[in-house]
Amino acid sequence: MSKPVSALEGASYQGFAKVEEVGLRGMITIRGDLKSAGMKKAAAAATGLDVPGQREVKLDGDTALAWMSSDELLAMVPYAEVDDRIAAIDKALKGKHYLAVNVSDARAIFRLSGGNAREVIAKLSPVDMSSDAFGLGQIRRTRMAQVPAAFWVDETGAIMVVCFRSVAQYVFDLLKGAAENGNQVGYLN
Amino acid sequence: MLILTCPCCGVTGEETEFHAGGEAHIKRFGPGSDDEQFHSYMFAKENAKGVHFERWRHNNGCGKWFHAARCTTTLEVFGTYSAQTYEPPKEIKDKISARRPGWSWREFA
Ligand SMILES: [Zn+2]
């Protein structure tokens, strides 16, 4: 068995906000009927969390369950437990029309912390990042400069960013550039 | 800059989050159709000045397709609606009528 490594092996940068690649995170794409009883069971079995509503993310420490579209969820779980969690989903949705796939190694995940973390995102995505418009429990899929990305705010106020692994370096460089000291805009707090 | 609201995920975003998918409500003619039908399906597009109907995809968001009714001269968006329909819903047509009385677009008015 080869040793799994994350895209940037934990690269980090300290500017006016801190950018860190979080490392390996188990991620499962789940598609199916989000309103069904089976999906509720599958969500609970895989993450212990409820099925999130439109554009919501349910959080419990490093475990999360995010609404990606009207028929898609993204479960985030410990990397080593993905196969077990998928088995639990398969059991809960047996016989139903659904899909549960391990996408852990197809993604990269970043953590953005510090007082002005929102400002870093606001420079890169066409999204209102004021805390009134975007708060805890919401997830936003959008673009970050030229690539798709999704982000949410965690309980500590840090912003978690998920993107495709193939563009991990690009996204890290974007975040780094936007977080560079002296580049504060000071519009969002 | 167009501001569109995706009816699938509810996000209101600017057009760089979306991708235009061409004219809406096109009836397709494939195998078995005659040359005239195929020609009109393939090449005869509306190129409207004013009220227009288009397909859009929320490609940097939820990934879903939807329809949009907008004005090509002012970029005003009258409304967006489900992709699962053959014609604009009444509610959208009413909104257009309120802003552009007497409008018509192909067989719709
Ligand atoms: Zn959408």
CA distance B2 to chain A (A): 13
A156-169 mean pLDDT: 97
Averaged pLDDT of chain A: 96
* Distance from the alpha carbon of residue B77 to the mean position of ligand 1, in angstroms: 16
Q: Give this complex's ipTM.
A: 0.90
Q: DSSP string covering B30-82, please?
A: -TT--HHHHHHHHH-----SSEEEEEEE-TTTT--EEEEEEETTT--EEEEEE
Q: Does B12 touch chain A (CB under 8 A)?
A: no
* Distance from the alpha carbon of residue A10 to the mean position of ligand 1, in angstroms: 31
d(CA A47, CA A43) in angstroms, rounded, equals 6
* Count of A-B CB contacts under 8 Å: 38
The pLDDT assigned to A39 comes to 98
Q: What is the dihedral of CA B101, B104, B107, B109, to 10 degrees?
A: -10
Share above pLDDT 90 across residues of chain B, in percent, rounded to a whole number: 98
CATH of B3-26+47-99, one of 3.30.300.30, 3.40.50.300, 3.40.50.720, 3.30.2270.10: 3.30.2270.10
Read off the tokens for A150: 């999704």
CA distance B8 to chain A (A): 7
Split at pLDDT 50, 70, 90, the class of A188 is: confident
Instruction: Find out whether A47 and A63 touch, Cβ atoms under 8 Å.
Output: yes
CATH of A12-178, one of 3.30.1360.120, 1.10.1060.10, 3.40.50.720, 3.30.420.80: 3.30.1360.120
Averaged pLDDT of chain B: 96
Split at pLDDT 50, 70, 90, the class of A189 is: low
Read off the tokens for A65: 């369950």
Q: Does B9 touch chain A (CB under 8 A)?
A: yes
Tens of pLDDT along A177-186?
Answer: 999 999 999 8
Tens of pLDDT along A77-87?
Answer: 999 999 999 99
DSSP state of A182: T
A69–B9 CB contact, under 8 Å: yes
Interface residue of B4, B17, B65 to substitute, partner A, most A CBs within 10 Å: B17
Q: Where are the domains of chain B?
A: 3-26+47-99
Instruction: Find out whether A77 and A86 touch, Cβ atoms under 8 Å.
Output: no
Instruction: Kindly list the residues from chain A whose CB atom is less than 8 angstroms away from the CB atom of residue B59.
Output: 148
Whether residue A162 is predicted with pLDDT greater than 70 in this model: the reply is yes
Higher-pLDDT residue of A1, B67: B67
CA distance B39 to chain A (A): 36
Residue of A nearest to B58 (CA): A142
